[in-house]
Amino acid sequence: MIKDELLRSMNEAIVAGDKAAAVALAADAVRSGADLLEVIEKGFVTGLQKVGELWEQGDYFLPELISSAEAMKVAMAVLEPELNRKKIEARTGGKVVIGTVEGDIHDIGKNLVASMLQAGGFEVFDLGADVKLERFVEKAEAVGARIICLSALLTTTMTNQKRLIGLLRDRGLRDKYKVLVGGAPASRKWADEIGADGYAENAVAAVKLVRTIAGRD
Amino acid sequence: MIETKRPKLELLGGEFVERIVDEGLTLLETQGVMIENAEALRLLGDAGAVVDRASQRARLGRKLVEGCLASTPSTITLYDRSGEKAFAVGGDEVHFDPGSAAVTLLDHDTQEERKATTADLVDFYKLVETLEHIHFQSTGLISSDVPAEVSDCYRLYLGLCLSSKPFVTGTFRVEGFRPMKDFLVAVRGGERELRLKPLAIFDACPSPPLKWSNLTAQSLLDAARAGIPSELISMGLTGATSPVTIAGTLVQHVAENLCGLAICQVASQGAPVIFGGSPSSFDMRKGTTPMGAIETIMIDSAYAQIGKFLKLPTHAYMGLSDAKVNDPQAGFETAMGAVLGALSGINVISGPGMLDFESSQSLEKLVIDDGICAMVYRLLAGIAQRDDPIALDVFEGFTPDMTFLSHPHTRQWYRKEHILAGLVDRDPYEAWVAAGRTSIVDKAHADVRRRLGKYDAPPLADPVRKEIDKIMAAYARSSGVGRLPVWEL
């Protein structure tokens, strides 16, 4: 049983986006032989949930969101090797391939979604920006991811989201993957129009969506 | 007569300007800039920059940059299509052009944005041709009915057929430069003639932070060699792709633009360059780039002030709005930007007509914004003494029941002193009701139709027209494009 105050400190480190504190607390937890899954679920993850609430309330904005996601990432980076050593599965969310479609170099939003997904317990394969459509399929096949997230910021590149779905269909792979779309020109209507499995307007909504979709599997 | 004061806005004190420039130069020296163009890197290296070819990074020393600044002209003269009308781009001369490269048009009837077509672009050019207070055209819309391979040069071709005003434009592909330059050379009658009388400005944007892409660096090289002015459009987004503080973004702006200027100068010493931009305050909630934000406007005014300190012509994206329709937000964001931009003495102000984060154009807004520009020019003209004595003669033989309406002084001065209302509503309430309670947007719509009806194509010599038709057709063919849209003069 981990002390409540320790769990609270972990929560606060995430809420404050304090990377140094998050790392220190994670290292302490490993050193003291604490139950790492409890550390994650009752300590750090609760901080992330609080961050989500603060965003919804309009108290937290993008800088806070990304700092908190980064703090979570560094805490997990300390905990993961230990979990692997003990053969405990930490990333229970599932595997996600994400990237900005080819022809488009915009990645701020995509990076935020990737960070938040990673912070939220998903194993994220971020292919970067200007990603050739075949690469999304190749990567998903190679790592066994079930969810592909596509970002596009330009009205001229968003058609690549439609093309990727077409590509999957052509290869008889459409039903194997859930394709989620995002980016400024995208919308629920657009997602429906191109036959995508979902759309999210911002990073917090994206994590919720991925959780829901992954949960259905 | 007492000299008329030109109203002016300066947000930065002298020391602050120097400090920002100093840090910008230090940034160029220490961190350098990524340049994804081998030739630009080579030329900078030959000129003394420290170049790491593997990482495509160039560090520019102060001496190199200062030398480049010294050889850049502080004013550019742009000419209209006929070559007869000249526009000074420098000092505190202010010229507006419509915000460029929009992909949609706000349809007045549906109040929805729709993809722009060639027919829309034709109307756009015709309308802007008639707008008195918008001195330059821009290739403001991208035709969705033209393949991407030719869309950059097609919009310039169309514009040159329809309008006599100078153009603000740019390339979407490296290959686009050649035909676009060929159009301009054909209109002028020769490369030397084009160099002597520039007709178009080519915009080029570095990729924040601190990078010039292959496409944009190539545009700088090509334009410099052709004597075509390059407009450097640094576009940091505060806290996202540039430092979150306004001052911090200004430092990056200086570094990115001066690197671009250096590329132009090492390609062709003396090349005309405009210190411009399209930076923005980044919205930390929506992740969008509000061009109408007051902080955006402040960044623009400040970097232009720095551009003037560096003795360069200046440009900014101001006089536009992030609203999606012609509502109060569209009005106040545009007006604030236009006024503050003009008071800042910015030479080329890109914005009129534009909505929705630089992605949409509205013909109605163009007309309304032309009215804003009219007010701006009146403001810039300041308060003149007009008469000596100012007013004492008018009061000669004063009696309490004297009126000014019939006074010769009034008749002499009223038209010079007060501009016409244009579309602005000045009716008494009942008259406004009786006239149908028309909003300015609806009035603008009627005005658009009236202007398009009255449009008369400025004459273009037959051989010139045939030449540019030929160039366009050849380029389309070589790009594998079948048919181009049919349209009418």
DSSP letter string, A49-79 = HHHHHHHHHTS--HHHHHHHHHHHHHHHHHH
Please report the domains of chain A, with CATH numbers, ordered by start residue.
Answer: 4-85 (1.10.1240.10), 94-216 (3.40.50.280)
Query: Which residues on chain B are in Cβ contact (under 8 Å) with A62?
Result: 239, 284-285, 287
Residue B19 CB partners (closer than 8 Å, separation 6+): none
Residue B471 CB partners (closer than 8 Å, separation 6+): B157, B179, B182, B183, B186
Whether A108 and chain B come into contact, CB under 8 Å, resolves to: yes
Of B103, B104, B287, the CB nearest to A108: B287
Q: Above 60 in pLDDT, residue B348?
A: yes
The tens digit of pLDDT for each residue in B205-239 reads 999 999 999 999 999 999 999 999 999 999 999 99
| B80 within domain boundaries | yes
The tens digit of pLDDT for each residue in B76-125 reads 999 999 999 999 999 999 999 999 889 899 999 999 999 999 999 999 99
| B395 within domain boundaries | no
Whether B144 and chain A come into contact, CB under 8 Å, resolves to: no
The residue behind tokens 């090509």 is B222
Confidence category of residue A87, pLDDT binned at 50, 70, 90: confident
Residue B275 CB partners (closer than 8 Å, separation 6+): B232, B257, B261, B303, B304, B306, B307, B310, B312, B313, B314, B315
Q: Tell me if A61 and B207 make a contact (CB, 8 A cut-off).
A: no
Whether B290 and chain A come into contact, CB under 8 Å, resolves to: no
Higher pLDDT, B247 or A83: B247
The tens digit of pLDDT for each residue in B268-320 reads 999 999 999 999 999 999 989 999 999 999 999 999 999 999 999 999 999 99
Short-list A203, A137, A208, A206, CA closest to A176: A137
Whether A62 and chain B come into contact, CB under 8 Å, resolves to: yes
Q: Above 90 in pLDDT, residue A61?
A: yes
Angle value at C-alpha A126, between B36 and A166, nearest 5 degrees? 95
The pLDDT of B326-348, averaged and rounded, is 98
The tens digit of pLDDT for each residue in B160-173 reads 999 999 999 999 89
Whether A17 and chain B come into contact, CB under 8 Å, resolves to: no
| B122 within domain boundaries | yes
Please name the residue of chain A whose CA is at the shortest distance from the CA of residue B360.
Answer: A155
What per-residue confidence (pLDDT) applies to A39?
93
Question: Where in the sequence is the domain holding B480, given as residue range(s)?
Answer: 1-385+419-489
CA distance A97 to chain B (A): 22
The pLDDT of B2-26, averaged and rounded, is 98
Backbone torsions φ then ψ of B120, nearest 5 degrees: -65, -40
Q: What average pLDDT does chain B have?
A: 97
Residues in chain A: 217
The pLDDT of A90-103, averaged and rounded, is 89
Higher pLDDT, B2 or A37: B2
Supply A37's token pair. Answer: 């899954």
Whether A215 and chain B come into contact, CB under 8 Å, resolves to: no
Supply B388's token pair. Answer: 């000596």
| B212 within domain boundaries | yes
Q: Tell me if B207 and A105 make a contact (CB, 8 A cut-off).
A: yes
| B347 within domain boundaries | yes
The pLDDT of A57-74, averaged and rounded, is 93
Burial B11-30 (b: 16+ CB within 10 A, else e): bbeeeebeebbebbbebbbe
Whether B103 and chain A come into contact, CB under 8 Å, resolves to: yes
| B315 within domain boundaries | yes
Of B103, B115, B284, the CB nearest to A62: B284
Mutation site for B-interface testing, chosen from A156, A157, A160, A202 by largest number of B Cβ within 10 Å: A156
Q: Above 70 in pLDDT, residue A149?
A: yes
DSSP bridge pairs for B76: B89
Percentage of chain B lying above the pLDDT 70 cut: 100
What per-residue confidence (pLDDT) applies to A1?
64
What per-residue confidence (pLDDT) applies to B425?
97
Q: Above 90 in pLDDT, residue A3?
A: no
CA distance A161 to chain B (A): 18
Q: Tell me if B239 and A108 make a contact (CB, 8 A cut-off).
A: no
pTM here?
0.93
> Residues 172-191, chain A: which have Cβ within 8 Å of B?
184
The residue behind tokens 């609760």 is A46
Q: Tell me if A62 and B359 make a contact (CB, 8 A cut-off).
A: no
Q: Tell me if B103 and A156 make a contact (CB, 8 A cut-off).
A: yes
Short-list B372, B380, B421, B381, CA closest to B131: B372
Domain at B377, CATH number: 3.20.20.480
CA distance A31 to chain B (A): 37
What per-residue confidence (pLDDT) applies to A79?
93
Query: Which residues on chain A are in Cβ contact (under 8 Å) with B239?
Result: 62-63
What per-residue confidence (pLDDT) applies to A119?
84
When divided into structural domains, chain B yields a total of 1
| B67 within domain boundaries | yes
**Chains A & B: contacts with CB separation below 8 Å:** 25
What per-residue confidence (pLDDT) applies to B209?
97
The tens digit of pLDDT for each residue in B384-430 reads 999 999 999 999 999 999 889 999 999 999 999 999 999 999 999 99
Distances (CA, A) of A20 to A27, A52, A73, A162, B311: 11, 21, 12, 42, 46
Whether A202 and chain B come into contact, CB under 8 Å, resolves to: yes
Helix locations, B310-360, DSSP H: 328-343
Q: What is the ipTM of this complex?
A: 0.84
CA distance B360 to chain A (A): 12
Q: Tell me if A184 and B240 make a contact (CB, 8 A cut-off).
A: no
Confidence category of residue B179, pLDDT binned at 50, 70, 90: very high
| B412 within domain boundaries | no
Query: Which residues on chain A are in Cβ contact (under 8 Å) with B285?
Result: 58, 61-62
Residue B52 CB partners (closer than 8 Å, separation 6+): B58
Whether B214 and chain A come into contact, CB under 8 Å, resolves to: no
Query: Which residues on chain B are in Cβ contact (under 8 Å) with A103?
Result: none
Of B148, B240, B359, the CB nearest to A108: B240
What per-residue confidence (pLDDT) applies to B471?
96
What per-residue confidence (pLDDT) applies to A133?
96
Cβ neighbour number for residue A11 with a 10 Å cutoff: 21
Q: Above 70 in pLDDT, residue A217?
A: no
